[in-house]
Amino acid sequence: MANQTIKKLLQDVKDGKVSVSEAETMITKEAYTDLGYAKVDHHRKMRQGVSEVIYGAGKTPEQILGIAQSLVEAGNKTVLITRMSKEAMALVSTKYKVTYDEISKVGIIGSIPKADGNGTIVVACAGTSDLYVANEAALTAESMGNEVIRLYDVGVAGIHRLFAHMEQLQQAQVVIAIAGMEGALASVIGGLVDCPVIAVPTSVGYGANFGGLSALLSMLNSCASGVSVVNIDNGFGAGYLASMINHQTIKEKKLS
């Protein structure tokens, strides 16, 4: 495995996706740092093009700070932390400058990189109550170098609000469709555009929404093609995948 990873890294250097100094750090640095409670993965950027992201839920503020330090010291210019409590935010801020969004609980250490994707990512959500997920998706994408257009509160109960933005939808490189309740937004958008639609069910609703199950099943069973689904409330996963698609280059020519 190691050989493959090195080969890929060198190719990335040649293609300008990784700078020489970054590559140097990656090669001289251990594959991971063992903090006892965590093994911070320093090869993730080599393998996957994006550094490890800190999922804050279930970690103590001290653990979050520890992992963040390890990533910063390994040379990462932007460190993304999702589901970060205010307590963790307070502690990490004692050491680093953090941009923090209270609605989505996303924190970003360091600078937001310039948008360098192939096109724009549209983040559309059905209602005001879905903003905690929509912001997570949008901020994740922006922290990875994407231009994001936000279309909020465009649920199908008033479908003309969605149609008013048809041009932005059709120009998008990827659309992230976020909805709770019956999650119909993903299917409707899926039927209108020719780019990938990443559907994010949310736990918004009550009763027979069963914590997001209704929107999840709805999106998995979408009658529109080109739609795939991530976990309930997983704005991060959608933003990450959208960025990956938006940054795709043609590999054939690069590797052969």
What angle do the packed helices 131-143 and 235-246 form, to 10 degrees? Answer: 40
Choices 31-39, 69-77, 84-92, 105-113; region in contact with a second copy by CB under 8 A: 31-39
14, 86, 97, 251: residue in contact with a second copy (rule CB under 8 A): 251
37, 107, 121, 177: residue in contact with a second copy (rule CB under 8 A): 37
Using CB under 8 A as the binding rule, the residues of this chain from 41 to 70 that contact a second copy are 41, 43-44, 47-50, 52-53, 55, 57-59, 63, 67
Least CB distance to a second copy at residue 82 (A): 11
Choices 70-78, 89-97, 105-113, 215-223; region in contact with a second copy by CB under 8 A: 215-223
Least CB distance to a second copy at residue 185 (A): 8
Q: List CB contacts of 231: < 8 A, sequence separation 6 or more.
A: 237
Tokens representing residue 137 in the block: 């998706």
Choices 1-9, 69-77, 92-100, 105-113; region in contact with a second copy by CB under 8 A: 1-9
Least CB distance to a second copy at residue 246 (A): 9
Residue type, 255: L
The contact pattern for a second copy, residues 134-173, with x = CB under 8 A and - = no contact, is: ------------------xxxxxxxxxx-xx-xx--xxxx
User: Per CB under 8 A, does 228 bind a second copy?
Assistant: yes
Q: Kindly give the pairing relationship between strand 39-41 and strand 147-152.
A: unpaired
How far apart CA 241 and CA 230 sit, in angstroms, is 10
How far apart CA 67 and CA 57 sit, in angstroms, is 13
Residue 6 CB coordination number (10 Å): 15
91, 112, 149, 213: residue in contact with a second copy (rule CB under 8 A): 213
Tokens representing residue 29 in the block: 């640095």
Tokens representing residue 30 in the block: 């251990």
Q: Which helix (H) or strand (E) holds 184?
A: helix 184-190
The contact pattern for a second copy, residues 109-138, with x = CB under 8 A and - = no contact, is: ---------xxx-----xxxx-x-------
Whether the Cβ atoms of residue 107 and residue 98 lie closer than 8 Å to each other: yes
